[in-house]
Chain A
Amino acid sequence: MRRRTVAKLGLSSLLLSATGLTLPAQAQDLRTITGGFDVGPGGMPGNFNPMTATAGFTWLSLYFEPLITYSAELDKFVGLLAKSFEMSADQTSYTFHLADAKWHDGKPFTADDVRFTFDLARNAASGSNFAARLSGITGVTAPDAHTAVVKLSAPNAGFLDTITKVMMLPAHAMAAIPVADVARNAWWSTAPIGTGPFKFNRYVNGQYVALVANPDYRLGAPKVDRVVNRYFENTAGAVAALRSGEIQFSYVESDDVPNFRADKNFRVIEGNSYVVNYLGFNQEVPLWKDVRVRRAVMHAIDRASIIKTIYGGAALPANCGYVAPAFVPAGLDPYAYDPAAARKLLEDAGWAKINGDKPITLITYYNTPQASNVMAAIQAMLAQVGINVVPRIVDVPTYNATVYAAKPDFNAFPLVYAGLQNGPDPSGINIGLNEKQIPPAGANIMRVRMPTVTSAFDAALAETDAGKRPARYQAVCKAMNEDLPWGTLWVTSRYGVVSNKLKDFTWVPAPAGGPYDAHPERWALAT
């Protein structure tokens, strides 16, 4: 009797376990590269409008293309839809000589498309993020189908950097869309047309986007049939998919890197994050007015140990907003770890009267386990010299609501641990440090009012001679190192992991995901 009962139960188990033996549908005839292209800080899953994108350009640039882009080393501009370009002597006119390219629907790409794109991108009504940055454009002309001229009201050292993210859009396909409807039009996620090596194929909400090869791509037909961008709720999910062989590429956190380095099936790509991490001293609270206090903070933190033990060596100490050698002058104060010197500086500044051991909130939006360890280390090190900080780790919206509030409560963020993009264009940190960028004009949320720093930035931004620009930013670096508007800490590395099945694959952990000269048409799968 009992045997029959057990047999019935066993049959149920067998039926259920049989489903587990069904292998996933991997048998696909098409050569498909699947990756987590929007995983990590450079990604922006679900955003298909390049004009409203604040990241995600690694993926977008597979089917859209800008006129120029960064080289894969992020050290110079290279032509993409513009074969070449030149600048007038007064740096107010840029002439772009266009490549012989076609849109995905077969129509030719012309200077009219360039004019259409810039007009749309500088029109705030389109919802474009570029409206303010392209406001210096006075007009775009098209002397012939293959030449576009962009005129500026004044020289703008950041213009070329800005237009690397301005993806060219088809006038013939978009002209009928009212400007006010462009931002959220279904066109972006259903039938977008670009000039890139892949064509938009399908988007499944929250799951993936698929592109198919553009056989007519001017730089050669892609070597794979499809590229699929799979979405993940978190990096851990992407790492699991990478390890199980379901995807061939993803951004990974540095904690995962040692395991992948030890696995011969994968290749780890390491690169500069181009984000300088800093302790922001809120100048609206009385704690940090005395530079000796700010210097004490720098001396109290053993950055070398944090970099070694928490980041596994994958970060460079920053003694100003930059770590790129071209922008770092000799003779900077390295702010070596010296708790005794920190205590002395605090004593000289009268820290006991300024604050003493009262708790100071240290707020951050970095909420990974690694960032928690960094916060704990900073808390312990500052406590040793008598600065009592209490970490508060929040999500991005909470952080932004706190620091960007129209009427901020400065006591809610007396000290922040944050990061700001410092490259490839070094002017990126101006918005957070220049006195003229104090809200509502800009994002100088720490209300830094330091004349030396502001004048150094102003001089760098006004420099029209590219050869002299590094020296200008060295002056910025020096001013930051002396006045310490921020307690600059480090610039970390970021990582991508690629399966060895993926060949000729170019990926750079560029801020916002690029774009850069990735040549996706060359990406291939090992046979």
Chain B
Amino acid sequence: MPPQVKYIIKRLLAGVAMLLGLSVLVFLLLRAAPGDPVDAYINPSAAMSPQDLAALRTRFGLDQPLPVQYLAWLRAAITGDLGYSLQGTGDAVLPLVLSHIGPTMLLMGAGITLAVVFGIAGGVLGAVRRNGAVDLLLSVLAFLGISSPAFLTALVGLYLFAVRLRLVPSGAMLTPGAPFALGDLLAHLVLPAVLLSIGHTALIMRYTRASMLEVLNADYVRTARAKGVREFSVVARHALRNALLPVVTLIGSTIGLAIGGAVFIESVFNWPGMGLLMVTAVRARDYPVIMGAALVIGAFVLLLNLLTDLAYAAVDPRIKVG
């Protein structure tokens, strides 16, 4: 068996063990949190008797000992059945979770793309026009972006662009009930994506500017200019390529941060992604959905890590897997 295949099998087996550990951890954390799905179901203003609540717990299987509950979940999960949501219509968890991954990826992808494009462009511009009016303006904007908390920018953005100016819809991913239209999707996407990108844009901009300034003073850049290379080529080909190396590392970590930011943005804009699903599920103590979502996200991250490691090996011959 080729060492690469062995390595992949080893990593996959380790991943399964990690997912098992993750499921135990999430299961125990959920049970340690105050209140269960039945507690979340009761409207305190329309009281129910503890007898009725006990009947509900029996119906949901919550009266069983914890190991029994966990093993029942695990047995079903192994067959691909992650159970049913305890809220409302009792949707099957797996399709429910999968249906929320796409919107989150779209929002995150758009937000990070905006951050990368504007962050790098702003950073380059700031470095090229160092200490000029443009640089000063971009620096002020970057500091504002970095220091503005997401909850503030999201709410201010919502109020200004959706409520006051009515340029974009105030929430959701598509106009409810309307047939799908790309323009409709983009109109709903633009504000949350821009707001999600603000902090990251500012950060990338500062990193790019600092990195570019360092590179622009390097001997090879001076040599390129002395050889009569056009300024655009000097900046874009000679300087930017090298300046981007630390920025790329930053962008990698930005993706992780963006997941956290997306949870908040999705709540504010009612964006039907994983963040909104998780927030709603946690509020309702919807154990099957929280467990299922954690498992799917965990599997996704493990798979991405494996693919990244394989990609490193493919790109850099010095790195060997297996």
Residue-wise, chain B 171-183 has the 8 Å CB interface mask toward A (1 for contact) of 1111111110101
Across the interface, which residues of A come within 8 angstroms of B36, CB to CB? 397, 401
Taking the closest CB of chain A, its distance from the CB of B271, in whole angstroms, is: 10
- Interface size (A, Cβ < 8 Å)? 90
Taking the closest CB of chain A, its distance from the CB of B279, in whole angstroms, is: 7
Across the interface, which residues of A come within 8 angstroms of B59, CB to CB? 127, 183
Most central of B176, B183, B230, B283 by chain A CB within 10 Å: B176
B260 beta carbon closer than 8 Å to chain A: no
Contact of A25 among B42, B84, B155, B183 (CB under 8 A): B183
Which residues of A pack against B, CB within 8 Å? 1-2, 4-6, 9, 12-13, 16, 19-26, 28, 32, 34, 41, 44-49, 54-55, 124, 127, 129, 132, 183-184, 186, 188-189, 202-208, 210, 226, 228, 230-234, 236-237, 240-241, 243-246, 275, 365, 394-402, 404, 406, 418-421, 428, 431-432, 437, 439-443, 445, 511-512
A127 to B58, CA, bound (A): 11
Residue pairs across A and B with Cβ atoms less than 8 A apart, 28 shown, are: A4-B232, A16-B190, A22-B186, A25-B175, A28-B175, A32-B177, A54-B46, A55-B43, A124-B55, A204-B176, A206-B276, A207-B172, A228-B176, A228-B177, A230-B172, A233-B270, A245-B166, A246-B169, A246-B170, A397-B284, A399-B44, A400-B35, A404-B39, A418-B44, A439-B50, A441-B51, A445-B47, A512-B46
Contact of B35 among A48, A205, A397 (CB under 8 A): A397
A510 to B287, CA, bound (A): 31
Count A-B contacts at CB 8 Å: 234
Contact B124 A28 (CB under 8 A): no
Which residues of B pack against A, CB within 8 Å? 34-36, 38-55, 59, 84, 87-91, 96, 99, 114, 117-118, 121, 124-125, 128-129, 155, 158-159, 161-163, 166-179, 181, 183-184, 186-191, 194, 230-232, 235-236, 267-270, 272, 276-277, 279-280, 283-285
9 nearest CB pairs, A to B: A397-B35, A46-B88, A443-B47, A1-B231, A184-B90, A208-B176, A25-B184, A400-B39, A189-B89
Most central of B88, B184, B189 by chain A CB within 10 Å: B88
A132-B52, A397-B285, A443-B49 as given contacts; A20 in contact with B43, CB under 8 Å = no
A246 to B188, CA, bound (A): 12
Taking the closest CB of chain B, its distance from the CB of A233, in whole angstroms, is: 5
A394 to B84, CA, bound (A): 27
A396 to B183, CA, bound (A): 40
Contact B175 A24 (CB under 8 A): yes
A418 to B45, CA, bound (A): 8
A445 to B172, CA, bound (A): 40
Contact B121 A12 (CB under 8 A): yes
Contact A24 B89 (CB under 8 A): no
Contact A404 B50 (CB under 8 A): yes
Across the interface, which residues of A come within 8 angstroms of B269, CB to CB? 237
Contact of B39 among A41, A397, A443 (CB under 8 A): A397
Contact A240 B128 (CB under 8 A): no
Contact of B279 among A233, A246, A440 (CB under 8 A): A233
Across the interface, which residues of B come within 8 angstroms of A275, CB to CB? 45
Contact of B44 among A34, A203, A400, A511 (CB under 8 A): A400
Closest to A28 in B: B178
A488 to B245, CA, bound (A): 66
